[in-house]
């Protein structure tokens, strides 16, 4: 069968790649065209457009890049018509994907949504479009099943979280080899995960690195996103205690003592690697002012949302400053604080269910075409 997959971000590329591998197992004749990134490209299939051309973050940024977004939508529709897939699999990225889904459903193409949009956070009114435009919905957070089925009477499949598979199936590298290959010294590592988009990296890295001199016994290592070139990060590498590695986030987390993490999927990844973290977020001022008026969630990190309590500290907007980062990072290095946090991480992993999310989803997709 023919599958068309649309993932518009780094996290979608990771989950899309694992889903593609599972689809090839379920359907040995599978033909896959996709929007995604390097990981999906390594899994096989035909890359249509890389997510680095799609990633616009926040309300203001979307408005400024509206022409590009509309051109991408037009191109996507034409490409789907050429390919004539049996099903389109949408991975998160709702602003773009929901527009394509409406168009596709009107033309009788099967539409499956893997990793549903976070309408429980904002734009809950989107439930009408989801009910209308999607044949199947696969959710990865435990509270989402009740949200859709109890609150909105829309049946969904809870498949578990694919990050558990991604982390379990990774190739484990020896710590000393990792340090040697990446020119790191023997100091304990504090990982810096500033996001994958240029605008968020620019916002976050300076403030995250402002505490480096307060922790001379540690080395700070920036996790470079595969979608960005080294030259972009070079402007931030002006301290001998700051190092950089690209596209090796899981290896970095495997060897980190603590982490400073921009909100998003990385907060959950860091927790599943059992690395104590502080969640940091500073957005475009206009985007933040709009967001805080329409988003009613108590937390911004997936860790806290899933646990429904403050497990990890969140420093948001003005609170995300040198003084507070120094204070919270110091806590993460205290043995008693770390021990309690790691116990919470174990409880978090239990809530997310077991392994097999990608394979289960692939099986359900093939069954329901």
- Which pLDDT score is estimated for 295? 56
pLDDT tens-place string over residues 87-96? 999 999 998 9
pLDDT at 343 exceeding the cut of 50: yes
Which superfamily is assigned to 173-351 in CATH?
Glycogen Phosphorylase B; (3.40.50.2000)
Q: Would you say the C-alpha torsion 11, 13, 18, 22 has a positive or negative sign?
A: positive
Which superfamily is assigned to 2-161+353-367 in CATH?
Glycogen Phosphorylase B; (3.40.50.2000)
Q: Which of 6-20, 127-141, 322-336 has the lowest mean pLDDT?
A: 6-20
pLDDT at 31 exceeding the cut of 50: yes
Stretch 121-148: mean pLDDT: 94
Stretch 47-72: mean pLDDT: 71
pLDDT at 73 exceeding the cut of 90: yes
Start and end residues for every CATH 3.40.50.2000 domain found in the chain: 2-161+353-367, 173-351
Q: Which of 154, 49, 28, 33 shows the shortest CA–CA distance to 86?
A: 33
pLDDT at 192 exceeding the cut of 60: yes
pLDDT averaged over every residue in the chain: 91
| Dist CA 194 CA 264 (whole Å) | 10
pLDDT at 290 exceeding the cut of 60: no
Stretch 54-75: mean pLDDT: 68
pLDDT at 288 exceeding the cut of 80: no
Which of the two residues, 238 and 287, has the higher pLDDT score? 238
- Which pLDDT score is estimated for 292? 52
**DSSP-assigned letters across all residues of 184-245:** --SSPEEEEE--SSHHHHHHHHHHHGGGGGG-TTSEEEEEE-TTS-HHHHHTT--STTEEEE
Token digits for 81? 């018509």
- Which pLDDT score is estimated for 296? 61
What's the pTM? 0.79
Query: Predicted confidence band at 63 (pLDDT cuts at 50, 70, 90)?
Result: low
Token digits for 25? 């197992």
- Which pLDDT score is estimated for 294? 47
Give the chain's radius of gyration (CA, Å): 20
pLDDT at 357 exceeding the cut of 60: yes
| Dist CA 178 CA 220 (whole Å) | 15
Stretch 345-369: mean pLDDT: 93
Which of the two residues, 354 and 323, has the higher pLDDT score? 323
């Amino acid at each position: 069968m023919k599958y068309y997959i649309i993932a518009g971000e780094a996290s979608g590329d990771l989950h899309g790649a694992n889903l593609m591998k599972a689809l090839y197992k379920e359907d040995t004749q599978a033909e896959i065209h996709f929007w995604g990134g390097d990981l999906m490209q390594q899994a096989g299939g035909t890359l249509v457009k890389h997510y680095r051309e799609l990633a616009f973050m926040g309300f203001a940024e979307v408005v400024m890049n509206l022409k590009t977004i509309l051109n991408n939508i037009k191109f996507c529709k034409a490409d789907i018509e050429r390919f004539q897939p049996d099903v389109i699999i949408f991975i998160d990225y709702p602003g773009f994907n929901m527009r394509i889904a409406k168009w596709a459903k009107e033309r009788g193409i099967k539409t499956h949504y893997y990793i549903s949009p976070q309408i429980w956070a904002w734009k809950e009114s989107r439930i009408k479009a989801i009910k209308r435009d999607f044949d199947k919905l696969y959710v990865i957070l435990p509270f989402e099943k009740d949200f859709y089925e109890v609150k909105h009477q829309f049946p969904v499949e809870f498949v578990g979280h694919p990050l558990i598979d991604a982390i379990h199936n990774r190739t484990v590298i020896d710590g000393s080899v990792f340090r040697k290959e990446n020119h790191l010294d023997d100091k304990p590592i504090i990982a810096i995960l500033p996001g994958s988009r240029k605008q968020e990296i620019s916002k976050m890295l300076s403030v995250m690195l402002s505490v480096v001199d307060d922790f001379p016994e540690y080395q700070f290592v920036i996790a470079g996103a595969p979608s960005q070139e080294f030259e972009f990060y070079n402007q931030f590498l002006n301290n001998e205690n700051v190092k950089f590695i690209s596209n090796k986030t899981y290896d970095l987390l495997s060897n980190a003592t603590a982490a400073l993490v921009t909100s998003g999927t990385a907060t959950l990844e860091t927790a599943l690697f059992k690395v104590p973290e502080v969640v940091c977020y500073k957005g475009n001022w206009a985007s933040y002012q709009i967001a805080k008026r329409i988003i009613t969630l108590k937390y911004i990190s997936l860790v806290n949302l899933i646990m429904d309590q403050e497990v990890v500290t969140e420093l948001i907007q003005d609170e995300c400053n040198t003084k507070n980062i120094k204070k919270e990072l110091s806590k993460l290095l205290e043995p008693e604080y770390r021990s309690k946090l790691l116990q919470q991480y174990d409880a978090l992993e239990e809530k997310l269910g077991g392994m097999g999310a990608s394979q289960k989803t692939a099986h359900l997709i093939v069954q329901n075409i």
